[in-house]
């Protein structure tokens, strides 16, 4: 039987003397400081809940960065790059504006049982198999607190993040050929294809603005890839071409450059070094580049550029790309550049190429890497080509 309400079998007459009107109740509540404060808190909570329900964005208060995905290629991108960046879902635009939520504390410690991780340093890789995962980051002793999150540091025993996070490598006497694929983290489909579809010897570089950056780096290392982090640098056509709010500027004071660089470095851990994103103006400035490389050197990191700083030193592990493999977005053109990379390795003993995570690049590089060693070369992580200069 429904029991929405119950009526007394012997109803009593109302007692007017005990009634209080609404105004009297309100006056009594306002006069009571505890009830007044409680009511204010309730109203504030109700307002917040209503705003979230209406706005539909519970993360609206978190720091965010708005960047255009068009910037991932820049003005020097090859013809057809917009069409090459296919949408992840049917109906999505090819290039769109995106907001990436950035946590105020982007990295949670993930110590392996609270102890020191066991790693194999370069040159000590006798027990490291080609398909083995790399140690989980962060490795104890190679990071410390910073203003925006953990930052890489040189360990108490002198071990550097470059040594700890580089992929182990043992040369076999053959010409060394290395490749870096960059622009990762913004497009989930392309990022996963690079991580899971490319040979583990191929180095991957990630955009610091990427959402879920630590998860992508963890996945890359689990598949055996060493990782670089991309530092946005001022190009010659700035501000028409703006790499984002943490762009390293040529004329900025040294303290500002360090502050922006520390924000970039604090986005994740597990990388052995930094590479440039754009930077055609920044890397022509001796003072700007000197301050940048000094900051990296103090943290035990390498700097590997896309070829724009080939003659620059810095007192830290350095390497520069010999060629871009996807200046033209066609299968034949990419294949031709990869063949030229092999020729350069044959002539000089080693060669380093770089490319972007375009679908055609990922497909052709995957095919190329399956047979490059059969042609007499050694597929080599980029860190193995870095020398101190």
Supply the pLDDT for residue 131.
Answer: 78
Paired sense of beta strands 317-320 and 387-388, if any: antiparallel
Residue 16 lies in a domain: no
Supply the pLDDT for residue 103.
Answer: 39
311 pLDDT band (50/70/90 cuts)?
Answer: confident
Show the tokens assigned to 68.
């255009």
Q: How far apart are CA 128 and CA 124, in angstroms?
A: 9
Cβ neighbours of residue 293 closer than 8 Å, sequence gap 6 or more: 303, 312, 313, 314, 315, 316
Cβ–Cβ under 8 Å, residues 221 and 139: no
CATH code for the domain of 300: 3.20.20.370
Residue 11 lies in a domain: no
Q: How far apart are CA 310 and CA 305, in angstroms?
A: 7
Supply the pLDDT for residue 314.
Answer: 80
Q: How far apart are CA 142 and CA 8, in angstroms?
A: 75
Using CA atoms, how far residue 108 sits from 111, 215, 305, 348, in Å, is 9, 11, 29, 43
How high is the mean pLDDT of the chain?
79
Residue 6 lies in a domain: no
Tell me the angle at which helices 286-298 and 254-265 cross, rounded to the nearest 10 degrees: 50
**Taking residues 194-202, what's their average pLDDT?**
98
**Taking residues 236-262, what's their average pLDDT?**
95
For the chain, how many structural domains are there in total? 1
277 pLDDT band (50/70/90 cuts)?
Answer: very high
**Which helix or strand (DSSP H or E) is residue 275 part of?**
strand 273-278
385 pLDDT band (50/70/90 cuts)?
Answer: very high
Q: Which residue has the higher pLDDT, 99 or 250?
A: 250
Supply the pLDDT for residue 305.
Answer: 95
Q: Which residue has the higher pLDDT, 268 or 36?
A: 268
Supply the pLDDT for residue 81.
Answer: 55
3-state SS class at 176: strand
- pLDDT tens sequence across 367-382: 999 999 999 999 999 9
Supply the pLDDT for residue 61.
Answer: 41
Residue 28 lies in a domain: no
Q: Which residue has the higher pLDDT, 53 or 232?
A: 232
Range of the domain at 312: 64-89+96-102+153-388
Q: Which residue has the higher pLDDT, 246 or 119?
A: 246
- pLDDT tens sequence across 126-175: 577 777 999 999 999 999 999 999 999 999 999 999 999 999 999 999 99
Cβ neighbours of residue 188 closer than 8 Å, sequence gap 6 or more: 88
Residue 297 lies in a domain: yes
Supply the pLDDT for residue 236.
Answer: 95
Enumerate the β-bridge partners of residue 229: 206, 274
Residue 110 lies in a domain: no
Residue 31 lies in a domain: no
Write the secondary structure of 23-48 as one string of H (helix), E (strand) and C (coil). HHHHHHHHHCHHHHHHHHHHHHHHHH
Supply the pLDDT for residue 84.
Answer: 55
Distance of CA 215 to the CA centre of its chain: 9
What are the helix and strand counts (H, E) for the chain? 10, 14
Q: Which residue has the higher pLDDT, 30 or 177?
A: 177
Q: Which of 163-167, 214-218, 307-311 has the lowest mean pLDDT?
A: 307-311
> Where are the alpha helices (H) located in 148-283, listed in sequence order?
161-165, 188-197, 213-222, 254-265
Cβ neighbours of residue 99 closer than 8 Å, sequence gap 6 or more: 64, 65, 66
**Taking residues 120-128, what's their average pLDDT?**
50
Paired sense of beta strands 323-324 and 227-233, if any: unpaired
Residue 280 lies in a domain: yes
3-state SS class at 73: coil
- pLDDT tens sequence across 65-117: 544 444 444 545 665 555 555 555 555 544 444 434 443 434 433 333 333 33
């Amino acid at each position: 039987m429904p029991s929405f309400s119950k009526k007394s079998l012997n109803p009593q007459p109302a007692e007017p003397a005990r009634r209080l009107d609404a105004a009297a109740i309100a006056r009594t509540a306002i006069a009571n400081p505890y009830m007044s404060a409680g009511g204010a808190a309730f109203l504030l909570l109700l307002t917040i809940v209503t705003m979230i329900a209406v706005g539909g964005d519970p993360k609206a208060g978190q720091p965010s960065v708005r960047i255009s995905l068009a910037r991932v290629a820049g003005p020097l991108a090859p013809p057809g790059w917009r069409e090459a960046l296919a949408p992840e879902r049917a109906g999505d635009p090819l290039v769109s504006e995106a907001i990436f939520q950035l946590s105020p504390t982007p990295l949670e410690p993930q110590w392996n049982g609270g102890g020191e991780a066991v790693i194999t340093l370069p040159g000590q890789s006798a027990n490291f198999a080609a398909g083995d995962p790399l140690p989980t980051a962060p490795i104890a002793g190679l990071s410390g607190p910073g203003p925006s999150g953990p930052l890489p540091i040189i360990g108490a025993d002198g071990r550097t993040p470059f040594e700890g996070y580089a992929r182990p490598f043992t040369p076999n006497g053959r010409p060394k050929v290395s490749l870096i694929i960059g622009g990762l983290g913004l497009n989930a489909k392309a990022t996963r294809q690079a991580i899971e579809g490319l040979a583990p010897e191929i180095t991957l570089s990630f955009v610091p603005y990427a959402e879920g950056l630590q998860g992508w780096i963890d996945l890359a290392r689990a598949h055996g890839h060493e990782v670089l982090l991309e530092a946005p640098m001022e190009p010659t056509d700035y501000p028409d071409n703006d790499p984002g709010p943490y762009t390293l500027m040529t004329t900025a004071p040294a303290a500002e450059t360090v502050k922006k660089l520390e924000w970039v470095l604090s986005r994740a851990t597990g990388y052995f070094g930094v590479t440039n994103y754009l930077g055609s103006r920044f890397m022509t400035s001796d003072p700007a580049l000197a301050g940048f490389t000094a900051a990296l050197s103090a943290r035990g990191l390498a700097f590997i550029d896309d070829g724009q700083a080939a003659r620059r030193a810095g007192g830290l592990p350095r390497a520069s790309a010999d060629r871009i493999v996807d200046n033209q977005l066609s299968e034949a053109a990419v294949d031709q550049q990869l063949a030229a990379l092999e020729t350069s390795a044959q002539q000089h003993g080693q060669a380093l190429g770089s490319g972007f995570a375009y679908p055609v690049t990922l497909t052709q590089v995957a095919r190329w890497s399956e047979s490059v060693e059969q042609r007499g070369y050694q597929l080599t992580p980029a860190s193995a080509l870095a020398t101190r200069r």
